[in-house]
Amino acid sequence: MEKLFEEYAANPNNPKWNNMIKREKELYKRNNDIRSEFERDYTRIIHSNAYKRLKHKTQVFFSPENDHICTRIEHVTHVDSISYTLANYFGLNLELTKAIAISHDLGHSPFGHQGERILSEISKRDIGETFWHEKNGVQCVDKIELLEDNLENKQNLNLTYAVRDGIISHCGEIDENALKPRDEYIDLNEYTSPNQYAPYTWEGCIVKIADKISYIGRDIQDAITLGILDEHLGELYDLLGYDSNEVINNTIIINNLIYDLCQNSSKEEGLKFSDKAFKTLNEIKLFNYKKIYLSERMNPSIKYFKLVINEIYDILKQTYAGNKTTKKMNDMKKYYPKLIKGFEEWLSSYWNLQRRENLKNDVIFNMENEKDYYRAIISYISGMTDNYAIEIYNSIIRF
């Protein structure tokens, strides 16, 4: 039913409203600003460097020379489009939905989920913590990304709770076929693993489902373009219920899933697919894992990603020397000038040493704490684009 969830939309009549628009710190206001709270979030996100870098981050296939293979920014655009269609149909807040959609993957590392796994292995080994992009996304918008305010001071994005919650709650690897928002207003630091809690808003639930709809078909389309599925097309046609003369088209897959969700969702059960569509969705997901994500064709790139990320991390790790770290950095700059200069310049915005006057963000790295230093390295690498990580690696191995 159209506008089915309108009464639950994020608006001032919603009992959760004050929590939804709450920010960790008060955000400066202009006298001539006509934007809503969620519109302000949206524009702060698209002006951020983390958002801009998504265009050079891998979605699934590392293919920087092929303009027609999906990158992270295109995936985000797909999620935005699908979320808009669903939120508009169900009568939800479009501004909130768009803000969550375009920010949901800001915490992604270079080289897609493979890069995320590599950073997580490093983090578990050296810090005892799992690295996962949903939580890193909140860290990114809360503590890392900086924008200049109206007084030319640099501050964090300071987004509303509803958007921050949508980022950390968006995990698209969902296997349940009914999604409703949670009632509890929790400290988002309570999250210890992906998909631990349902989103706080219906809009967040929309983005969570749109994330899965968006990548299921697009990954297949890209794999076909790259020839990875040449030997498996018959199996894929059977899964989709297509005739051999039909074209496997991502837009058709998306449209069918959107329509099915719209027809089968209810206030009582939440956002839900038909049993048939949900079964097909999970079968396609399993097919993608076996034939695409875990295919032998992916192995060479995975080995390369490990080499690049670990080499960058290991060199930066060598610069730690307690209260003599800055000296150690200076000593090593003659060998790795591009890497260490870049890291030091980045780190100086977040450390507890001398800070520039226009920095109004929180200090998050104590230079006397070895694990803090390793966290900083991981955070720095996670923000890199594929191209920049490779450029840094090449600068390391060159003489």
Provide the pLDDT confidence category of residue 34 given band limits of 50, 70 and 90. confident
Is the C-alpha dihedral spanning 225, 230, 235, 237 positive or negative?
Answer: positive
Non-local CB neighbours of 194 within 8 Å, separated by 6+ positions: 132, 134, 135, 171, 173
pLDDT at 323 over 80: yes
* pTM of the model as a whole: 0.96
Is the C-alpha dihedral spanning 55, 299, 308, 123 positive or negative?
Answer: positive
CA 302 to chain centre: 20
Beta strands in the chain (DSSP E): 146-148, 154-156
The rounded mean pLDDT for the chain is 94
- SS3 state of residue 81: helix
Alpha carbon distances (Å) from 127 to 131, 136, 312: 10, 15, 17
- Listed by start position, the domains of the chain span 6-106+145-294, 298-397
- pLDDT tens digits along 301-313: 999 999 999 999 9
Non-local CB neighbours of 339 within 8 Å, separated by 6+ positions: 312, 315, 316, 392, 395, 396
Instruction: Compute φ and ψ for 167, nearest 5 degrees.
Output: -65, -50
Tell me what pLDDT residue 209 has.
Answer: 95
Counting other chains too, the contacts that 29-38 makes at CB distance below 8 Å and 24 or more residues apart are: 30/150, 36/95, 37/160, 38/10, 38/93, 38/95, 38/96, 38/98, 38/99, 38/160, 38/162, 38/163
And the tokens for 342? 């870049």
| 6-106+145-294 carries CATH number 3.50.4.10 | no
Stretch among 24-38, 274-288, 307-321 having the lowest mean pLDDT: 24-38
Tell me what pLDDT residue 174 has.
Answer: 61
And the tokens for 203? 């809009």
Instruction: Compute φ and ψ for 40, nearest 5 degrees.
Output: -60, -40
% of the chain exceeding 70 in pLDDT: 98
Q: Is 313 in contact with 377 (CB distance < 8 Å)?
A: yes
pLDDT at 242 over 90: no
Give the whole-angstrom CA distance, residue 176 versus residue 170.
14
Q: Is 116 in contact with 306 (CB distance < 8 Å)?
A: no
Give the whole-angstrom CA distance, residue 256 versus residue 340.
50
And the tokens for 333? 């700059």
Scanning the structure block, which residue is given the tokens 């983390």? 50
205: Cα within 13 Å, side-chain hemisphere: 25
Give the whole-angstrom CA distance, residue 236 versus residue 284.
8
Scanning the structure block, which residue is given the tokens 């920095």? 359
Provide the pLDDT confidence category of residue 175 given band limits of 50, 70 and 90. low
Longest dimension (CA), the chain: 68
Alpha carbon distances (Å) from 184 to 5, 10, 84, 256, 272: 19, 15, 25, 33, 21
Provide the pLDDT confidence category of residue 173 given band limits of 50, 70 and 90. low
And the tokens for 89? 């149909």
pLDDT at 399 over 90: no
% of the chain exceeding 90 in pLDDT: 83
Q: Is 97 in contact with 87 (CB distance < 8 Å)?
A: yes
- pLDDT tens digits along 177-198: 889 999 999 999 999 999 999 9
